[in-house]
Chains A and B, each alone.
Chain A
Amino acid sequence: MARLSAEEKIQPHWWTKSLAGAVLGLTFAFAVVGIFAWYGPGGIQAPNKVQFNMWMISPVWLLILSFSFLFRTGMRAVLILGTANLIAWATFLLLRYTL
């Protein structure tokens, strides 16, 4: 493995990465679970599915939060997670108001 220069290495940026992972990770988890809730197996009315949906939010959120520290900088974490949110929420809203 080639030696990485200082800029190529992971920068600490604890606060921005933690906040990006905690906040944007959670909103992303809600969007993914929202799509699953409405358009996943059984649709929105399957019995007890609301409980399953609630249970699925935290693992998605915590995995994103755990791996947020792999972003090279805090700014990249915000940008990439922000874009992922835009895509996920746009998909959710598009499906909700067109289907």
Chain B
Amino acid sequence: MKIRSDILRTYQSIHTWTGITTGLLLFIAFFAGALTMFKSPITHWAVPENHVLPAISVGQYNELVQQATAQYETASNGFTLHFAPHQSPMHHSPMTWYEQGGGRGLSIDSHLRQASFNEEGELVSVANQQNVLGDLIDQLHRTAGIPGKAGHEDIGVLVLGVASALYFIALVSGVIFLLPTLVKSFFSLRQKKGANRFWLDTHNLIGITSLPFHLLIAWTVVVFAFHDMLYGGLSLIYGDEPMFERNGGSKQVYSVAELPPVERYFEAVGNMVDGYDIVSLTFADLATPRARLSIEVAGDGKLQRAAETDIIAMHPFTLDVTYSTLSIPENGAFGPLVKSFFALHFGNFANDTGRWIYFLLGMMGAILFYTGNLLWLEKRRKKQAKQSRSVTIMAKLTIGVCLGSVLGVATSILASKWLYLMGVDINLGYINVYYGVFIASLGFAFWQGAAKSAIALQALIAAFCLGVPLTTLINALFSHNTHWHVAGGTLLVDVMALVFAWIFFAAARKTRQRAYQGEPDSIWFIPSKVHATPGDSVQPKTI
């Protein structure tokens, strides 16, 4: 396809600038986003077994609620019931409620009390600080780790919203200036024509094959970040027309003892829709006129509105439905349509297969941004040993930020079981470990340069990933004096950590080879002491 050369040049500049300004942020967001597909197993891996209480049958829940609310004042106003087999590893027990914290949004110092029946049918209960490892990874995904709030919005979310608008432009411009050579070099992955070619082919192959995914992610992130402002603008267009209907439910005050048996909620959901299981029932403000029940339902292979479920809101005593995200006639044609945008971002519509595909797409996205930065660096480097300031700084940032965030997450996950043994505040521990490692990695990259730190950080990532299954093994061998037992559901985490350890070990070796045996006129070259004498002829390879 022929495109005028001035258009190509224009869009090449746009692609370069939008790419280089957003690549580092998007790398963190995509890498962490890929991990959020498995945030339940990861949290499950981290949480001690003795924080979990036994599952019970559906018929036992009514008795559990009555006994627990009678015994615990804190439960009588609101609590959540979790139903097997959907009991999320983040709240494992049949019944949970907050003794401190809770509510909307991420809270790192929430204390959760859990209740169940033991084998003798007696009420058992434990209270723990809620482990939010999965939610912290999710927070990293949504904010790229940028802390702080502006009003009720996370600053990081707004920054990623702007970055995503630029990313959308980067996608369009990338496609435009790739079009002339697309047919010729699409599926070629030229390894023998020098590193530069290989990175370029990888970048283009990933970018074009996952283009629909990337366009969708860019669009949804802009909406997630700026929906309040867009609704604000729309309110001018709507004028006096109300944008949202208000459903006033019953204002009568009931008592917990009047709650209908849980089977009634199963019936109510069954009457509304087919093919959904109840994951949880969350009751709130039960003793007030604002009593609410929020039901999470999971459909097999259905497009869902929340990260892993659909939501039904109903009055807990009258069972009047006030809101739902189900694809039912009440939600018209637009409800399911809008829901599909959310579901396509969350990747929740094809069970584990979908999760794996989204995991790979997310990781490929991270590689897309990483290779994009490498291409920028390769393009600007000169055929000389001393590289320009902008190139060396960008190289250090690329290594420090990208590998630093990966190392930070790997260390946080690995630290989990050891932090529990030390008895520290677990969630604060995760945050301190992540930011400590991230900042140290960035500092190390600036101190030692891109070439050395790339080798060291990749080797450390490999070692810490290897530490995850080793920790599991140690716990399995000495489980009589620790909190953990090997559980089938978390074996996935160990296996994946092992795979990542192998990938980063291989990458560290390759980087090391290039540093000592590759082209000397490169930011990745480390002159060895023997060869560094002036006049010594180290033949540069021609690209």
Contact = CB atoms under 8 A, between A and B. Distances in A.
A34 B230 CA distance: 12
Given A48-B338, A51-B334, A9 B226 contact: no
A55 B230 CA distance: 9
A54 B223 contact: yes
A30 B6 CA distance: 31
Contacts of A34: 237
A99 to B, nearest CB: 14
Given A33-B234, A46-B332, A65 B169 contact: yes
Interface stretch (B38-46, B238-246, B394-402): B238-246
B7 A37 contact: no
Interface string B141-169: 00000000000000000000000010011
B334 A46 contact: yes
B58 to A, nearest CB: 32
B341 A55 contact: yes
A28 interface: no
B243 A50 contact: yes
B237 A30 contact: yes
A38 B168 CA distance: 28
A4 B4 contact: yes
B345 to A, nearest CB: 11
A9 B334 CA distance: 44
Interface in A37-64: 37-38, 41-42, 44-55, 57-59, 62-63
A65 B226 CA distance: 17
Contacts of A92: 237
* Contact residues on B (Cβ < 8 Å of other chain), bracket: 35 or more
Interface residues of A, number: 35
A66 interface: yes
A44 B238 contact: yes
A52 B226 contact: no
A86 interface: no
A58 B169 CA distance: 12
A99 B10 CA distance: 44
A69 B7 CA distance: 9
Interface in B5-57: 6-7, 10-11, 13-14
Contacts of B226: 58
B233 interface: yes
B447 interface: no
B335 interface: yes
A58 B241 contact: no
Contacts of B168: 62, 66
B169 A30 contact: no
A56 B375 CA distance: 34
Interface in B51-71: none
B227 interface: yes
B543 interface: no
Contacts of A70: 7, 10
Contact of B6 (A10, A42, A58): A10
A1 interface: yes
Interface in B470-489: none
A58 B222 contact: yes
Contact of B14 (A30, A57, A69): A69
A30 B230 CA distance: 9
Contacts of A44: 238, 241
A30 B233 contact: yes
A51 B244 CA distance: 9
A77 to B, nearest CB: 12
Interface of B: 2, 4, 6-7, 10-11, 13-14, 165, 168-169, 172-173, 218-219, 222-223, 226-227, 230-231, 233-234, 237-238, 241, 243-245, 330-335, 337-338, 341
6 contacts: A1-B2, A42-B333, A42-B334, A48-B331, A54-B230, A69-B11
Kindly list the 8 A-B residue pairs having the minimum CB-CB distance in the complex, ordered from nearest. Answer: A47-B332, A66-B172, A48-B335, A34-B237, A9-B6, A48-B334, A52-B334, A51-B338
Given A4-B6, A10-B6, A65-B165, 15 more contacts: A41-B333, A42-B332, A46-B332, A47-B334, A48-B331, A50-B244, A52-B337, A54-B223, A55-B341, A57-B234, A58-B165, A58-B230, A62-B169, A66-B168, A92-B237
